Amino acid sequence: MTWETVIGLEVHVQLSTKTKLFSGASTTFGSEPNTQVDLIDLGLPGVLPVANKEAFYKAIRFGLATNAEINQVSMFDRKNYFYPDLPKGYQITQMEKPIVGTGSILINVDGAEKLINITRAHLEEDAGKSIHDLFDGETGVDLNRAGTPLLEIVSEPEISNAKEAVAYFKAIHQLVTFLDICDGNMAQGSMRCDVNVSVKKIDDKALGTRAEIKNINSFKFIERAINFEVARQIKRLEKGESIIQETRLYDSIKNETRSMRSKEAANDYRYFPEPDLLPVVISDKELEEIRITLPELPKQKEIRFIEEHSLEESEAKILASSKAMANLFEDASTKTKDSNLIAKWLVGDVSALLNKENISIEESNLSSVNFAKLIERISDKTISGKIAKSVLEEIWVSGNDVDLIIQEKGLVQIQDESILEDIAKKIIEANPDQVNAYKGGKEKLFGFFVGQVMKETQGKANPQGVNEVLKKLLDT
């Protein structure tokens, strides 16, 4: 029997606003517990929320970039449930009228493109964190995260397998970082997702019963969780058992999903319109201002790179794939006209190092300033390409400044013609047989002399300079 998988994703994107969604407290990550909390975040009696317009502007950027409807009048609702890290006993969210309506995003799976429709994207406040393992027999509550703005992006159930789900999540990640509305830091929980999975027989019209896997925060785990869950569901169905609609948790250590609660045990959230907040109205003018400040998106960047820098399409795609990569390219472009040189380094050595460690540029020691300097030193001939490679490797380890590495390791390229000439003369004197043979017509021996000079200078001699000096000494 052939089974078809149907997947929908709810992606939670932490918006990088300076302050929280309803209070003036800072959203800085990693502070001492309960230090980024004000009266409103504590839910003290008598406090009232005030909506942060910056969060709306960021949500709208996402909406415009996904060709979505923007609801210029949007409203907040309360979702009621008890939990210690939810100070008010309800979460303020957007149920009836989200800021962003129907849109879509293009994903790329092994070179093939597919359009995934987005049902909606709404603003809501994050909860705090319950800490169960710090105090014996007690649970700690850290409210630093409470009230941080989240954009919840809900996809249509149009994703067909784990690979597509990962591609979708990556596309969202790429977009929100390009739009500068989220720092994209998955390890810090800046992006998390809930995955709805169901399977059905290929000919069935109706969807199967779904399970929701909660709170996954890495590309790898999304893929594994879906693959496990799909296999589990098919196995049950083939045995004639039914699927229970429930919430499941993915255990990355055991690589399995486990039941968390069934639909019957689920909360009745008692949604109703938030009476403490008026509808938020976005004017035409505000919308237009956001539209014109929208940054260049990956696809547009790719096209421009090809046009302006005469790059290959494959190169341009890689360079435009992330904001950090594109920044490395563009910053270095200001230091040299030789775009192909930069592209070659990024697509080649830099990408190789990234792939080797499976990290992103942000996670590496390579800063855009330092990379631009590296390219500059190659093009002004301070160092050769070969030396540059070892400098890059050194940066990878230490993150040190390019010039500092060159200076400390004495890697400056020898360009001084008189020095090169002295060395060349020494080589010529020490190898009379080869000189005779060369002058007798064995022109290939020229390479031998270049190699000897390079060896003598430990590779620091400027190759072009060596060529010129040798030519002058040998050909006259």
Partner 1 sequence: MSIQFKTIKELSSMLQSKEVSNYELLQETFKLVKSYKHLNAFITLNEENALKKARNLDNNTSDLSLSGIPIAQKDLFVTKGLRTTCGSNMLSNFIPPYSATVIENLENAGCISIGKTNMDEFAMGSSNETSFYGNVNNPWGENLVPGGSSGGSAAVVAAGIVPAATGTDTGGSIRQPASLCGITGIKPTYGRISRWGMIAFASSLDQAGPMARTAEDCAILMNEMCSHDNKDTTSLDETIPDFTKDLDAPVKGLKIGIVKEFDLSKLDSNVVKVFEDSKKHYESLGVDFVEVSLPNINLSVPTYYVVAPAECSSNLSRFDGVKFGKRCNDPKDLEDLYIRSRSEGFGEEVKRRILIGSYVLSAGFYDAYYKKAQQVRRLIKNDFDNAFKHVDLIMSPTTRGTAFEAGSMSDPIQMYLEDLFTVPANLAGLPGISIPSGYLDSKPLGIQLIGNSLQESQLLNVAHNFQMTSDWHLRTPPTRSK
- Using CB under 8 A as the binding rule, whether residue 35 contacts partner 1 is answered as no
| Tokens 């019963």 found at | 209
**Is the sign of the CA dihedral 110, 325, 171, 103 positive or negative?**
negative
CB of 376 to partner 1, least distance (A): 50
The edge-to-edge listing of strands for the beta sheet with 103-109 is 103-109, 112-125, 149-155, 3-14, 191-201, 211-216, 246-251, 256-262
| DSSP assigned state of 347 | I
Kindly tell me which residue out of 28, 31, 50, 244 binds partner 1, with binding defined by CB under 8 A: 50
**What is the dihedral angle through the alpha carbons of 321, 326, 329, 331, rounded to the nearest 10 degrees?**
-170
Can you tell me whether residue 119 is helix, strand or coil? strand
- Reported for 258-263, long-range contacts at CB under 8 A and 24+ positions apart, including other chains, are 260/214
Nearer to partner 1, 51 or 172 (CB): 51
| DSSP assigned state of 346 | I
Count of positions on this chain that bind partner 1 (CB under 8 A): 29
Residues numbered 165-204 forming contacts with partner 1, rule: CB under 8 A: none
Nearer to partner 1, 10 or 38 (CB): 38
Kindly tell me which residue out of 6, 9, 11, 42 binds partner 1, with binding defined by CB under 8 A: 42
Contacts of 15 by beta carbon, 8 Å cutoff, 6+ apart: 55, 58, 59, 148, 149, 150, 151, 181, 182
- Using CB under 8 A as the binding rule, whether residue 21 contacts partner 1 is answered as no
- Using CB under 8 A as the binding rule, whether residue 260 contacts partner 1 is answered as no
Kindly tell me which residue out of 33, 43, 101, 463 binds partner 1, with binding defined by CB under 8 A: 43
Alpha-carbon distance of 204 to 201, in angstroms, equals: 5
Burial of 204 (0-12, 13-18, 19+ CB in 10 A): exposed
CB of 80 to partner 1, least distance (A): 5
- Using CB under 8 A as the binding rule, whether residue 440 contacts partner 1 is answered as no
Kindly tell me which residue out of 29, 39, 129, 327 binds partner 1, with binding defined by CB under 8 A: 39
Alpha-carbon distance of 150 to 124, in angstroms, equals: 5
What type of residue is 146?
A
Could you count the other beta carbons within 10 Å of the beta carbon of residue 467? 16
Alpha-carbon distance of 11 to 192, in angstroms, equals: 6
Alpha-carbon distance of 70 to 100, in angstroms, equals: 5
Alpha-carbon distance of 24 to 265, in angstroms, equals: 36
CB of 115 to partner 1, least distance (A): 34
Nearer to partner 1, 42 or 402 (CB): 42
Stretch that binds partner 1, among 77-85, 212-220, 238-246, 367-375 (CB under 8 A): 77-85
- Using CB under 8 A as the binding rule, whether residue 137 contacts partner 1 is answered as no
CB of 29 to partner 1, least distance (A): 22
Binding mask 82-121 for partner 1 (x = CB under 8 A): x-x--xxxx-------------------------------
- Using CB under 8 A as the binding rule, whether residue 127 contacts partner 1 is answered as no
Could you count the other beta carbons within 10 Å of the beta carbon of residue 364? 16
Q: Evaluate whether 198 touches 222 at the Cβ level (below 8 Å).
A: no
CB of 88 to partner 1, least distance (A): 5
- Using CB under 8 A as the binding rule, whether residue 459 contacts partner 1 is answered as no
- Using CB under 8 A as the binding rule, whether residue 441 contacts partner 1 is answered as no
Nearer to partner 1, 276 or 288 (CB): 276
Nearer to partner 1, 22 or 221 (CB): 22
Partnered with residue 441 across adjacent β-strands are none
Nearest to 326 by CA among 190, 184, 183, 178: 178
Nearer to partner 1, 36 or 452 (CB): 36
Binding mask 268-287 for partner 1 (x = CB under 8 A): x-xxx--xxxx---------
- Using CB under 8 A as the binding rule, whether residue 122 contacts partner 1 is answered as no
Alpha-carbon distance of 417 to 112, in angstroms, equals: 54
CB of 26 to partner 1, least distance (A): 18
- Using CB under 8 A as the binding rule, whether residue 135 contacts partner 1 is answered as no
**Is the sign of the CA dihedral 245, 246, 251, 254 positive or negative?**
negative
Instruction: Please give the helix or strand (H or E) that residue 5 lies within, else none.
Output: strand 3-14
Kindly tell me which residue out of 30, 32, 45, 441 binds partner 1, with binding defined by CB under 8 A: 45
CB of 62 to partner 1, least distance (A): 24
- Using CB under 8 A as the binding rule, whether residue 73 contacts partner 1 is answered as no
- Angle in degrees, 0-180, between the axes of helices 53-65 and 284-292, rounded to the nearest 10: 60
Nearer to partner 1, 20 or 317 (CB): 20
Stretch that binds partner 1, among 80-88, 375-383, 388-396, 451-459 (CB under 8 A): 80-88
Alpha-carbon distance of 394 to 396, in angstroms, equals: 5
Nearer to partner 1, 88 or 192 (CB): 88
Kindly tell me which residue out of 51, 159, 211, 350 binds partner 1, with binding defined by CB under 8 A: 51
Q: Evaluate whether 227 touches 250 at the Cβ level (below 8 Å).
A: no
- Using CB under 8 A as the binding rule, whether residue 447 contacts partner 1 is answered as no
Binding site for partner 1 (CB under 8 A): 39, 42-51, 78, 80, 82, 84, 87-90, 139, 141, 268, 270-272, 275-278
